[in-house]
Structure 1
Amino acid sequence: MNLGAVSLILLLAAIVIGFWRKANVGILCIGFSMILMIAYGLDSKEVIAGFSSSLFIQMVGITYLFSIINGNGTLELLAKKMVALVGKKRHLIPFVMYALGFIICAVGPGAIPSLAIVPVIAIPVAISAGVNPIMTAVIGDLGVMSGRMSPLTPESAVVRELMEAQGMKGNTIPIMIGMIITALVVAALVYVYYKGWKVDENVSVSEEKLAKFNTRQWLSLAGLLVLAIGALFFSWNVGLTGFLVGTVLVVLGDAQEKKAIAGIPWNVILMVMGVGILMNIISISGGIDIMVAGLEKVMGPHTAAMIMAIAAGIMSFFSSGLGVVFPTLIPTASGLASGLGVSAVQLVTVIVIGGTVSGFTPISTTGALIMAGVAQQENADERFPQNRLFIELFAVSFIALGVLAIFALLGIYGLYV
């Protein structure tokens, strides 16, 4: 059988096995790449060429720095100070969490750690303020998703590399704009559903005086500023800058190196790198052309963006957007665009948004963390029944995917690219 077809089958097998056995899809892809190398007599250098060293440096460097900053309490204190800004206007807390989620994600760490951190902050804050914690956590995570394609994040580096490999300009700002538009509409719908303007007046708000940032935390904030200025204005590599700033903070006693290294999401990085190795084989063997030909049969110029958005969202229900959906579907964008006469950037935009906003299901990490956080609260079984919460989180994912599909069909994402 043709190598391209076999490699596509093995990619699908890796996704299915990874979901079924809770195994790392990237590691499975590396193993399957070895099988293809032996079976088809491929050169090991060709196989290893799929490992992107530049992407590896960017992902490890930035998550290393974020691990340091998160470990010394800087982000937690920053969150509390932002919430305190609303004063007695407690109904605005969900939107403060949206802004917080956006900032935490966009300054460098990306969505993977931020989606885990924001619910941990949002749920207890919402409970203590008499605001619905489910709504607050969902809107906070929508803020995280809005910042995912900031030029400083590891996810942005992945998408840029995938776009540039097809001869496209690696600019993720248009994608971020599309993500913000989609997330804000979904956030508004969630706010209306939960009647976010209604606050439990029986809950008394503590007038606790917040501590000031200590020297270590000021140094951490300064480090983030250096990263942002260097990357945005001087085109510094965000990974190398992350290593540099992180090293300076460690030398100054701002963090423990072992804990910082342990905090790097190695499983996600291995997933991205491993899928990249198999996708390289798929690319050089003509597998991408097979995928494009298959998609062209069910797409037209007016439905291409919508179908691609739905496909990305459905794939994301069962696999990682960053590790699987993006590297699988984005390489098809350029070929589909030229064949159907649509914008390649628009297709990449809906792939990224679809692979992101559908992540609220309870079977995803984001949804599971929200469920776990709510379940830890007092009288959670009575106030927030798990069965109802399970259905609501699935509903949020489908609503978000529905908003994306409608916007894609109407050509909203093509208006500014």
Structure 2
Amino acid sequence: MNLELVTVLVLALIFVLATARSVNLGVLALVAAFGVGAAAGLSTDEVFAGFPVDLFVALTGLTFLFGFAQRNGTIDLLLRAGLRLVRGRVALAPWIFFALTGALMSVGAIFAIAVVAPLAVPFARRYRIDQLMMGMMVVHGGMAGAFSPLSVYGLFVNSFLAGDDLGGSRLGLFLASFVFNTAIALVVFLTMGGRFLLGRTEDLAGAPASEAEAPGQTSGQASAQTSAQTSAQTSGIDLYQGVTLLGLAVMAVGTAAFGLDIGVLSLSAAAVLALMRPDDARVCLANVSWSTVVLVGGVLTYIAVLEAAGTVEWASGGIAALGVPLVAALLLCYLAGIVSALASSIGTIGVALAIAAPMLESGELGAVGFVAALSISATVVDVSPFSTNGALVLANVDAEHRDDFYRRMLVYAGLVVGLAPLAAWTFSLLPV
């Protein structure tokens, strides 16, 4: 058995073990990187060289900063502002949650869906909106913003392309995912009861999502909670929240307009907030998305070992042997979608991009179009109840409706897995 095949089998094994045993894929990938690296004749230092230090700093800084935004109420503040803008029009509320999740994800909040879903689903229950529709709007909102140049997914993909000198377009990748997920969200809205919300008006700003009834909570309890919190919520923006908003703005403008390092900017903003509230800093640092940091670092380190061992070139040659690049691209899109519905989206994208890299280098496929198709295929399936984001939505459904919600969610996820990669594959036809 040749070394290339062994490395592929090891990769498949760690994916299966990580999914079946709920172990972080990055941990297994790091261990595998050193084992496979030794077999390929690589030294420990050579394996370490594949670890993405820049992404490690960026992911740590982003999740640390957004920990403050979540803890000090800045995110809830943004939600309230959005709900006030719709002036009680219920039909616009799902789009506010869609936009909020997308905005948070687009500036680096990898856990945006985890933050918004607990607000959105109870809100839907309280205002008699289809909970599945609201949950899917949140997930697709997050995916709509997932590939901005400031986001974790965008940083991951663009760094990979830059490292392999594959070119690409940061704006093109973002717009492709944004348009694709917005179109799906519109279909979801229209087919899951959104059109029946048109014309309905209620006092949405008076009872925002964070005050909506929790599962098992009575209307009286929710009202009491609302009254108890009113005084604290009407005081406007305090200094701590103002500095948080300023930090987010500086990070976004500094990165997008001046090309400054997003990891340095986000860590700097988080450091200022930490000095203001050391107690919050300890909690936020403990709540940094270390699992994501380890996942990204481990997967990219293993991919670097695969490249050094010749596995990437070997696998790409096998796919290229199909003879028709667009057919190979479609196959990769479906593989990415199916695997990602059950496993890590970032890990799946990284492996698939590594396999596709030689085809992109040869010009057989348009870099922007194919990378967009692959990225969309691997993330749009996060509506699956077996994915982290899908499970977060399901967890916030009240017990009375959870079984029915789960069945409907499975049907919807099946449709997405079956149709979305084919639809996303059309981006492979773009001559860019």
Match of 1:276 among 296, 300, 305: 300
Q: Which runs of 5+ in 2 are unaligned?
A: 208-229
Which range moves more in the overlay, 392-401 or 324-333? 392-401
Cα distance in 2 for partners of 1:216, 1:127 equals 32
Q: Is the 8 A contact 1:308 1:347 kept in 2?
A: no
Q: Is the 8 A contact 1:150 1:176 kept in 2?
A: yes
Q: Matched residue of 1:168: which SS? A: coil
Cα distance in 2 for partners of 1:97, 1:416 equals 34
Q: Is the 8 A contact 2:154 2:174 kept in 1?
A: no
Q: Is the 8 A contact 2:64 2:285 kept in 1?
A: yes
TM-score where L is the length of structure 2: 0.87
Match of 1:263 among 266, 275, 287: 287
**Alignment correspondent of 1:158:** 156
Supply the AA of the counterpart residue of 1:217. Q
Q: Matched residue of 1:256: which SS? A: helix
Matched ranges for 1:88-167 at <5 A? 88-109=88-109, 112-167=110-165
Cα displacement (A) at 1:203: 10
Cα distance in 1 for partners of 2:320, 2:363 equals 8
**Alignment correspondent of 1:344:** 367
Q: Identity over aligned residues, as a percent?
A: 25
Match of 1:180 among 162, 175, 178: 178
Question: Are residue 48 (structure 1) and residue 48 (structure 2) matched?
Answer: yes
**Alignment correspondent of 1:400:** 416
Cα distance in 2 for partners of 1:180, 1:34 equals 38
Which range moves more in the overlay, 237-246 or 136-145? 136-145
Cα distance in 2 for partners of 1:33, 1:68 equals 34
Q: Is the 8 A contact 1:163 1:331 kept in 2?
A: no
Cα displacement (A) at 1:169: 2.1
Which range moves more in the overlay, 393-402 or 52-61? 393-402
**Alignment correspondent of 1:65:** 65
Supply the AA of the counterpart residue of 2:272. V
Cα distance in 1 for partners of 2:364, 2:253 equals 38
Cα displacement (A) at 1:200: 11
Cα displacement (A) at 1:142: 0.8
**Alignment correspondent of 1:3:** 3
TM-score where L is the length of structure 1: 0.90
Cα distance in 1 for partners of 2:359, 2:141 equals 30
Cα displacement (A) at 1:344: 2.4
Cα distance in 2 for partners of 1:397, 1:31 equals 33
Q: Is the 8 A contact 1:250 1:257 kept in 2?
A: yes
Supply the AA of the counterpart residue of 1:28. L
Q: Is the 8 A contact 1:83 1:93 kept in 2?
A: yes
Which range moves more in the overlay, 240-249 or 134-143? 134-143
Supply the AA of the counterpart residue of 1:238. I
**Alignment correspondent of 2:271:** 247
**Alignment correspondent of 1:25:** 25
Q: Matched residue of 1:158: which SS? A: helix
Cα distance in 2 for partners of 1:155, 1:302 equals 24
Cα distance in 2 for partners of 1:80, 1:160 equals 33
CA 405–256 in structure 1, closer or farther in 2 if over 3 Å, else same: closer
Q: Is the 8 A contact 1:102 1:147 kept in 2?
A: yes
Match of 1:371 among 394, 417, 428: 394
**Alignment correspondent of 2:354:** 331
Which range moves more in the overlay, 233-242 or 285-294? 285-294
Cα displacement (A) at 1:414: 4.1
Cα displacement (A) at 1:299: 6.3
Which range moves more in the overlay, 58-67 or 336-345? 336-345
**Alignment correspondent of 1:235:** 259
What is the RMSD computed on CA atoms of the aligned residues? 2.4
